[in-house]
Amino acid sequence: MARIRGAIVVDAERCKGCGVCTVSCSQQVIILGKEVNSKGYYFAEAAFPGKCTGCANCGIICPDGAIKVYRVKEE
């Protein structure tokens, strides 16, 4: 049976590394990475993408609109 899972794409240049998205995710998918963007901010990344449910909390809460959330159908 098909199953829906989520996937996020972070726009690293828009991210200011505030960390709000990391605490908004009930699945602990997101972390602040070890690399910085051109402004010197550690940006968010999906460390455990397989756990994303596509709930969209992170995309809604990000003050900079840096996260796009997709829902993917898995067969």
Binding site for ligand SF4 (CB under 6 A): 6, 8, 10, 15-21, 24-25, 27, 29-30, 43-44, 52-58, 62, 64, 66-67, 69
Report, in Å, the least distance between residue 34 CB and ligand SF4.
Answer: 14
Degrees, nearest 5: CA angle 58-51-10: 40
User: The tokens of 7 are what?
Assistant: 């996937």
Judged by CB, which is closer to ligand SF4: 53, or 72?
53
User: The tokens of 70 are what?
Assistant: 């997709």
Report, in Å, the least distance between residue 49 CB and ligand SF4.
Answer: 8
The answer to whether residues 17 and 69 touch, using CB atoms and an 8 Å cutoff, is no
